[in-house]
């Protein structure tokens, strides 16, 4: 089990909202993001720099970053991340003050074409160049392998292909690497094996994970990743989300469920779980439906006052 500090990366404003049909007003996003920052989570992904015609929910990403980079609104300890897919997205992110750039390559050729209209090899060449450019400007960069555990279109993905992409990242000097379960196909033993294999390539990396709960294994996979030395965990408020370019979009691991689970194991007791639960309830109320998150329905059994 890792002895390092566990970091929570809230991706609700991006991955959580990108497949929703009802457009969320800017002021609602800001209210939810403010609460996430107040709760004590470490990183918040404000949005993605993509074509607003293809992903309308992300049309205000630049405005969100400009809001938080304006006088007096910049959070002191929370990192603000943004997803970029191409050079134009990187330019936009640099212009509006992204703290940490997230970018990635799909190990699935079909998903890569649907998501970026590039082959995996083409995308890898461009992403590595973009990462180097951002790091040269002293920006934090996290690179991912998407569809690392399987693809809704292609089925199983060979671990060798995932590791080859990771090796290219390492050759470029990139140290923060995420494996993304875009289709939700991962299972715990597979998670352990793949992250352990990456650890054998280089044991000094910052490892991150991003799981979707398509088949109900999201939290189990997070635990497997934790056992394998992963310290960055991506999740979304209420369990919202899903990639619009995968075969079966399904929600992320719920942030409040993840934090509740970690706190029951003695980790991250500093995070205000009640605040996260309130955000999830607000989001559910906005969309007018019950969200997948479990703890906001059952209630927390974590009580540090009695502990």
* Residue 232 burial by Cβ neighbours in a 10 Å radius (0-12, 13-18, 19+): buried
Q: Which of 70, 116, 57, 107 is nearest to 89 (CA)?
A: 116
Q: What is the DSSP string of 222-266?
A: HHHHHHTT--EEEEBGGG----TTSSS--PBPBHHHHHHHHHHTT
* Residue 189 burial by Cβ neighbours in a 10 Å radius (0-12, 13-18, 19+): exposed
**Residue 8's beta-bridge partner residues?**
233
Cα(125)–Cα(205) distance, rounded to whole angstroms?
Answer: 21
- 114 Cβ contact list (under 8 Å, min separation 6): 153, 245, 246
Sign of CA pseudo-dihedral 186, 250, 88, 83: negative
Q: Find the angle CA(247)-CA(113)-CA(119) to the nearest 5 degrees.
A: 135
Q: Which of 232, 233, 152, 159 is nearest to 185 (CA)?
A: 152
209 among known catalytic residues: no
The helices-and-strands tally (H runs, E runs) of the chain is 11, 8
Question: Active-site residues: which are they?
Answer: 243
């Amino acid at each position: 089990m890792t002895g390092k500090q566990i970091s929570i990366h809230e991706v609700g404003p991006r991955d959580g909202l990108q497949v929703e049909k009802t457009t969320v007003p800017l002021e609602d996003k800001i209210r939810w993001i403010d609460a996430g920052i107040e709760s004590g989570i470490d990183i918040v992904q404000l949005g993605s720099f993509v074509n607003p015609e293809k992903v309308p929910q992300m049309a205000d990403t630049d405005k969100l970053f400009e809001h938080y980079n304006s006088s007096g609104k910049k959070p002191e300890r929370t990192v603000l991340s943004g997803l970029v897919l191409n050079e134009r997205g990187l330019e936009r992110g640099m212009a509006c003050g992204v703290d940490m750039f997230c970018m990635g390559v799909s190990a699935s050729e079909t998903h890569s074409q649907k998501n970026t209209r590039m082959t995996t090899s083409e995308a890898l060449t461009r992403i590595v160049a973009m990462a180097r450019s951002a790091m040269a400007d002293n920006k934090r960069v996290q690179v991912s392998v998407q569809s690392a555990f399987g693809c809704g279109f292609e089925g199983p993905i060979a671990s060798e292909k995932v590791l080859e992409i990771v090796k290219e990242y390492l050759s470029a000097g990139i140290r923060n690497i995420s494996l993304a379960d875009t289709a939700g196909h991962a299972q715990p033993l597979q998670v352990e094996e793949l992250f352990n294999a990456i650890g054998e390539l280089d044991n000094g990396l910052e490892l991150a994970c991003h799981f979707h709960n398509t088949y109900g294994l999201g939290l189990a996979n997070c635990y497997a990743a934790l056992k394998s030395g992963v310290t960055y965990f991506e999740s979304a408020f209420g369990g919202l989300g899903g990639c619009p370019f995968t075969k079966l979009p399904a929600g992320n691991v719920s942030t409040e469920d993840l934090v509740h689970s970690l706190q029951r194991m003695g980790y991250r007791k500093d995070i205000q779980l009640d605040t996260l639960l309130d955000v999830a309830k607000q989001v559910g109320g906005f969309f007018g439906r019950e969200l997948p998150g479990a703890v906001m329905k059952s209630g927390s059994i974590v009580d540090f006052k009695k502990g």
